[in-house]
Structure 1
Amino acid sequence: MKTQHIYDAVVIGAGPSGSTAAALLAEYGHRVLVLEREKFPRYHIGESLLPFTYYPLRRLGLTAAMHQAGFVKKYSVQFVSPSGKASQPFYFFTRYEAEVAQTWQVLRSEFDLLLMNNARAKGAEVREQTTVLDLLREDGRVVGVRAAGPDGREYTVRARLTLDASGRDALAAGRFNWRVRDPYLKKFAVWTYYEGIPRPEGIDAGATTVAFLPQKGWFWYIPLHGDRISVGAVAEGPYLTRDGVREPEKMFQREIQNNAWIAEQLSKGRQVGPYWLTNEFSYRSRYGAVDGLVMLGDAFGFLDPVFSSGVMLALKSGMLAADAGHAALQAGDVSAARFTEYSRLMREGIENMRKLVYAFYQESFSFRDLTDKYPEVQGDITDCLSGDVNKDLSRLFERVAEFAEVPEPLPYGEVLTAEEAVAAK
């Protein structure tokens, strides 16, 4: 086994959180290595960006590249009842400046490649088709990783700081048994793609549509470039698998008939590619950082996709972790305590969005009833659903609590200091 010394930071995964952190740490002047299991471009779900992804993209210097990439521009979201009645579009420009209000629907294969190449351009070393096998630990502190390259040869990488951006695989949470599922958000999703469906003219051409199903399920409908539409159904597992149905195609095709708008739209096009199925969306890592290690993006936690928060939270976590990591490396102290504020911000943002997700899935709740009674919270709702999640939203959730149960924060994602780890033994 060959040992390689030494990097300031090693990043596990080149997805949005990992590539963001790597680019910014390299820009700070640190020696950064990114280890990515796949060969990019590669397929990934999670295609609709929120308006507040603008700020990390601007920080990365990628806004011009995004405009040039050919991604579909997204200006709004609309909601459709099972009967097919559509709401008026909720346009982001009614609240935000134009540069924030216009976001994108992206092919993740192209978007993630753009982010990874940006990390390389900033000076990070990226090794694709490299699997991280384990974390290196000494005296309770993470000091790097053991990896295998494309040829299967194993080697170790020592680093002052390790950033776990391994996505839903959540390497550290899996190794240390830290993955904790959300007690309520236990959804299944089945999805595929369509082509040939005509689109509206103008700014409505790229709108995200959330189309409701019985028992608080829903379809996403996301226009992508290249004449492709991403369409998926999300609901409780027992609902999607009722009557013993287990095949993704049968699940999907059955649900089309449960929303008149979806049925009409899909009848105009043709289905292409495979059907995909996943379950148990929502979880959190029990800890967000330990000495020498910090969790990013989906490795920190993942929230039900109804409000398309995944990429925004991933980009934000990469940016926040890079800033905290830079300060820690400069101070010569990469203990978990250095990431306390990072962990707090990530938990606060996830919990604010999680409260609205819980409300969305309760039969007693509707945004229309809430805003009819309390029109003053319309702006808070828009901010949260646009990705402005690190702000005081207590007034909003006091109002929501009149219509739906508001969950207590999950006690997960805080840092685990060495002293706490010893005390817990």
Structure 2
Amino acid sequence: MEGDLCDVVIVGARCAGAPLGMLLAERGYAVEMVDRNPTGADTLSTHWIRWPGVQQLRKWGLLSALEKTGCPPIVRASLDFEGRVIAGGPQAGGAEAVTYAPRRTELDALLVAEARAKGARLRERFSVTHLIVVDGRVAGVRGAGPDGAVGLRARVVVGADGRNSTVARLAKSPVVEDRGILARSLYGYWSGVVEPGVRVVFRGRRGISLWPTHDGLTVVSLVFPPEEAPGPGRSALTEFYVSSLREVPEVEQALMNGELVSRPRSAAVRNARRHAHGPGWVLAGDAGHHKDPVSAQGISDAFADAGVLADALDAGLSGSARLDEALAGYAATRDAQRLAAFAYTCEQAELRPFGTDFLDDLTRTAGDTQATEAFLKTFVGCDAPSDAGWLGESH
């Protein structure tokens, strides 16, 4: 069975797909979102929304809604590089540069609710199996959900379905750069940890970060080289995670009264980017461009994609520009915004030891109020990073 023609089918209703559905629906387009999971299902993810992403939420009128979910504001940062500590409260425009690290169960549900409130439709537990192709152009999707097999016809299909994107695979979107898996990460949720802001600690070739999140919990992440993989089985993974955290005295102190209340989740992310569009289809978020979580840019990047792609689709669907040209413009903008960060993230994910010059520079920065403020502003994303990224010439 095939439904009526809509303007856009969005496959994936999370940090890229749901905001895109919201933005298109509020402009009057008929939008059908589909997702293989129910709304609010958890997913592997970094949690931090950097300053540019927070500004997107503010622009969309959703920041207060996020705060009402109980997500604690993050107003301080402490960055510890082999004992050299840069700490403080970054400012933006004379005010605190507040960021957030929400659970995806809360954030995704909020974004979907807003998209539906604007008029976008949603099919949950719907798995796409085929693309509908007419005269060489993608013209919809076929899949199955609780109501059985369904065909959804559309003028454009958006793949916003993550790094293992079904749309990218079915459209045969070519990989234009693949740097492989450069690091692994584990994270879990801890209760009883009192951390006033974000804390990041680098020791050797490991990085540890602590972020306050929903329900009074702290998400604690461990990044490490792939060759240090723990042994098989959940118990070995948990033992490796906890022992690695407690090997660092500063982290051991922070977790002293804490309790791990979840099994650690494991990720090994391939750093790769795909061609972003083709006849009748386009990719957004991790579906087209994903990188190691060490730089924590995924959520903010997904928001940015949604904003740029909404404008491109509006131009193409309204007739003010040719659709294919509008999608090509989106792809060019995406690459212009991402390529430097992609290269930087890959460099940082190699987790090479810090150089002596960098550590000496950090010591000087820590003693200079203005330099400290500039460093922290770059870390949270208030200022555009240098070519070396927010860690500076770190490796």
Tell me the TM-score normalised to structure 2 length.
0.87
Question: 1: CA distance between counterparts of 2:246 and 2:216?
Answer: 23
Deviates more, 1:6-15 or 1:368-377: 368-377
Question: 1: CA distance between counterparts of 2:142 and 2:187?
Answer: 35
The reply to whether residue 211 of structure 1 matches residue 207 of structure 2 is: no
Question: 2: CA distance between counterparts of 1:367 and 1:56?
Answer: 33
Secondary structure at the counterpart of residue 66 of structure 1: helix
1:207-236 Cα deviation digits (max 9, x unpaired)? 222222322x21121111322111121122
Alpha carbon RMSD of aligned pairs, Å? 3.0
Deviation at 1:89, TM superposition (A): 2.0
Q: Any conservation in 1 of the 2:71–2:100 contact (CA below 8 Å)?
A: yes
Aligned to 1:112: 108
1:81-107 Cα deviation digits (max 9, x unpaired)? 45xx462324221x44537x1121211
Q: Any conservation in 1 of the 2:19–2:306 contact (CA below 8 Å)?
A: yes
Query: Quick one: which of 224, 241, 253 aligns to 2:242?
Result: 253
Query: Quick one: which of 103, 128, 152 aligns to 1:157?
Result: 152
Deviation at 1:66, TM superposition (A): 2.3
Aligned to 1:304: 292
Q: Any conservation in 1 of the 2:271–2:346 contact (CA below 8 Å)?
A: no
CA gap 1:46/1:397 in 2 versus in 1, 3 angstroms: closer
Aligned to 2:35: 36
Query: Quick one: which of 116, 120, 125 aligns to 1:124?
Result: 120
Correspondence list, 1:26-425, <5 A: 26-44=25-43, 45-81=45-81, 85=83, 87-93=85-91, 95-98=92-95, 101-151=97-147, 153-175=148-170, 176=172, 178-179=174-175, 182-183=178-179, 186-197=182-193, 199-200=194-195, 205=196, 207-215=197-205, 217-241=206-230, 244=231, 247-285=236-274, 287-331=275-319, 335-360=323-348, 361-365=351-355, 385-387=379-381, 396-397=386-387, 403=393
Deviation at 1:397, TM superposition (A): 2.5
Q: Any conservation in 2 of the 1:353–1:384 contact (CA below 8 Å)?
A: no
Question: 2: CA distance between counterparts of 1:228 and 1:311?
Answer: 20
Residue segments in structure 2 that go unaligned for 5+ positions in a row: none
Deviates more, 1:41-50 or 1:322-331: 41-50
Question: 2: CA distance between counterparts of 1:399 and 1:267?
Answer: 33
Deviation at 1:155, TM superposition (A): 1.4
Question: 1: CA distance between counterparts of 2:135 and 2:80?
Answer: 55
Deviation at 1:387, TM superposition (A): 3.8
CA gap 1:221/1:372 in 2 versus in 1, 3 angstroms: closer
State percent identity of aligned pairs.
23
Deviation at 1:264, TM superposition (A): 2.1
1:289-317 Cα deviation digits (max 9, x unpaired)? 11211111111211221232111001110
Q: Any conservation in 2 of the 1:12–1:18 contact (CA below 8 Å)?
A: yes
CA gap 1:208/1:31 in 2 versus in 1, 3 angstroms: same
Question: 2: CA distance between counterparts of 1:90 and 1:132?
Answer: 47
Instruction: Give the aligned residue type for 1:71.
Output: C
Q: Any conservation in 2 of the 1:80–1:261 contact (CA below 8 Å)?
A: no
Bigger proportion of residues as helix: 1
Question: 2: CA distance between counterparts of 1:143 and 1:156?
Answer: 10
CA gap 1:336/1:41 in 2 versus in 1, 3 angstroms: same
Q: Any conservation in 2 of the 1:78–1:86 contact (CA below 8 Å)?
A: no
CA gap 1:382/1:358 in 2 versus in 1, 3 angstroms: farther
Secondary structure at the counterpart of residue 6 of structure 2: strand
Question: 2: CA distance between counterparts of 1:369 and 1:353?
Answer: 25
Q: Any conservation in 1 of the 2:87–2:372 contact (CA below 8 Å)?
A: no
Q: Any conservation in 2 of the 1:32–1:125 contact (CA below 8 Å)?
A: yes
Question: 2: CA distance between counterparts of 1:130 and 1:399?
Answer: 39
Deviates more, 1:375-384 or 1:313-322: 375-384
Q: How many residues end up aligned between the 2 structures? A: 385
Deviation at 1:18, TM superposition (A): 0.4
Instruction: Give the aligned residue type for 1:276.
Output: R
Q: Any conservation in 1 of the 2:88–2:373 contact (CA below 8 Å)?
A: no
CA gap 1:364/1:64 in 2 versus in 1, 3 angstroms: closer
Deviation at 1:4, TM superposition (A): 0.8
CA gap 1:43/1:25 in 2 versus in 1, 3 angstroms: same
Deviation at 1:178, TM superposition (A): 3.1
Q: Any conservation in 1 of the 2:344–2:388 contact (CA below 8 Å)?
A: no
Instruction: Give the aligned residue type for 1:164.
Output: G
Aligned to 1:421: none
Deviation at 1:382, TM superposition (A): 5.4
Q: Any conservation in 2 of the 1:27–1:123 contact (CA below 8 Å)?
A: yes
Q: Any conservation in 1 of the 2:309–2:330 contact (CA below 8 Å)?
A: yes
CA gap 1:116/1:386 in 2 versus in 1, 3 angstroms: same
Deviates more, 1:221-230 or 1:346-355: 346-355
Q: Any conservation in 1 of the 2:34–2:126 contact (CA below 8 Å)?
A: yes
Secondary structure at the counterpart of residue 104 of structure 1: coil
Residue segments in structure 1 that go unaligned for 5+ positions in a row: 406-425
Q: Any conservation in 1 of the 2:103–2:213 contact (CA below 8 Å)?
A: yes
Q: Any conservation in 2 of the 1:213–1:258 contact (CA below 8 Å)?
A: no
Deviation at 1:172, TM superposition (A): 2.7
